[in-house]
Chain A
């Protein structure tokens, strides 16, 4: 059974790689779009099987534990639904001539490379390998953001590349410092970069060095998470790239970077003399939340608006993990999952909406529930969910974050609730504007793929109404791991 566990672990990495090669070689776009879905499905099945099979012993490079298994499965699931959405999305782009068949070949291969990079970041047990994986995932998204080759898309890709590279460079410096801190205790060589070994022996590390390392890691990977003031790449990259990539960026890539920050937070927590990472994370989280909440009001572009909403939610999550404690960590984890599902569902809707209306300007899109009820109502449910109204899942996690903050640090709850309210107003204002009113623009029927949207929204609604006890137990266990 251990062998089976190892196979499942490697399968989530090997399937995307093979798929990327195959997709790069095949010319027909219909076939590659379907193969992309098939490969994502296989990866998802492999990821699910991790729950069943016995875990392999943590290796030098790869491992699976209670924390990353949730994210691997979530990653594979959203990767699958995004590939289904992408199949119908790129079909339309090909018809309108925004993308060519050669573009699509490249796009599908890159999609799988990106999935490989993200899965690798989750399963890697080596902080160096983790860094390489995040870099790979970032670069593959950079080229996809620029795929339309328009003025705006190239600028977005360039900005994303430059800021992303600075972030990744700072993260590498932090990684080197962690190695330096570990070397006197663990000894030279690979062992000093293996996460499981580092956590065991972190108590003896040089605390001062570890502190500086964490600051670099938080700034570096924080750039990828999109925390203010390092967020400048995020709205552009979301708005100018193909919408399936916006969905994957918001739903998955931000989570990958945050996951890596969490890994290092655990490391820091294991060293008693190191600084508490809490205040740093709380500050960055609150700044991102409030800044993004106000920025939401000034958006004219629909994808840009939801990109700012992603910054806002990442701020909330980082705040929750900064607060720490079992309840806040539980809420943070739940919020990561809920945000990922909700935000990608919204982007699926937005992708179809923008294709039908031929514009991304909020002012030009109105009365969607009348012309396209299926899409319009799904979009409205998504907006209501992301704004944090009950009974949806996001409300539940936000409620837990607020209540745990009130219990421990009532004063901090004031800016938190303020930010949530400001963002709520903006989202509802714009969301209702798009969903209701006198219909504008094209009323042509759409051949949207509803399955991914509804699957996500049903999961979010289900989680808001009832969380199965085993799942709660699981989350609580992981929350304790986070310290």
Chain B
């Protein structure tokens, strides 16, 4: 593998981590969705590049799914749901943005330390890809735990899942990658439809998980 292909792969994977950080400080729902669309776009480019480098045409399917479905259909559908259900556009975060960013940096450092230390023998591209993927995964998790809002949590979950797709495509020759990305897309579609069909808005007035939390089962 020559230097340029490596650098491009590196840049795209690193870009995904960067966009994950951008997700952390969004406090409006629409902005969050736009950044997520960007996230999916970068993922799609990264996967397409891996498909080219590894000469694995089936990965183009995964890239296409990321581009059409995750960067297009899902954000648009969520936009419309927010409009239709009249959900509050502001996101309530659990902790302050400064703390969240610091925690995010800590998580990235953690994943670098863990992954780079245990994979000295793997080939450098897969190795760094895996470290980046773990960072994206953990940052997605952080987005999920710091949002009190159902749509915010879904976006966090989708970001987390993008990290998994990055890891799966980085593992050269891994079977079932396309199937797994299709399976994940189905899950996401299912959730988005679920928010709409179960009329979470109608039942709870907000899609705010905090509002759902008043039910604790034991203190009725």
Contact = CB atoms under 8 A, between A and B. Distances in A.
Interface residues on B, range: 35 or more
Interface stretch (A164-172, A244-252, A311-319): A164-172
B142 to A, nearest CB: 12
A469 to B, nearest CB: 42
A180 B144 contact: no
B183 A155 contact: no
A477 interface: no
Interface in A146-173: 146, 149, 151-152, 154-155, 158, 161-162, 165-166, 169, 172-173
Interface string B181-220: 0010001001100100010100110000100110101101
Interface string A118-158: 00000000101101100100010000001001011011001
Given A161-B191, A211-B118, A180 B126 contact: yes
Given A154-B200, A208-B118, A132 B172 contact: no
A209 B213 CA distance: 39
A483 to B, nearest CB: 23
B171 A169 contact: no
Given A162-B153, A188-B173, A132 B167 contact: no
A285 B217 CA distance: 25
B175 A239 contact: no
A247 to B, nearest CB: 19
A154 B183 contact: no
B134 interface: yes
16 contacts: A128-B179, A132-B176, A139-B190, A149-B203, A155-B212, A165-B187, A172-B164, A173-B133, A176-B130, A180-B126, A192-B173, A193-B176, A206-B122, A209-B122, A298-B218, A300-B217
Interface of A: 126, 128-129, 131-132, 135, 139, 146, 149, 151-152, 154-155, 158, 161-162, 165-166, 169, 172-173, 176-177, 179-180, 183-184, 188-190, 192-193, 206, 208-209, 211-212, 235-236, 239, 298-301, 304
Given A151-B204, A162-B153, A169-B137, 18 more contacts: A128-B176, A128-B180, A151-B215, A166-B144, A166-B157, A166-B160, A169-B160, A172-B168, A176-B167, A177-B130, A180-B122, A183-B173, A189-B175, A206-B121, A212-B118, A235-B217, A300-B220, A304-B218
Interface of B: 114-115, 117-119, 121-122, 126, 130, 133-134, 137, 141, 144, 150, 153, 157, 160-161, 164, 167-168, 171-176, 179-180, 183, 187, 190-191, 194, 198, 200, 203-204, 209, 212-213, 215, 217-218, 220
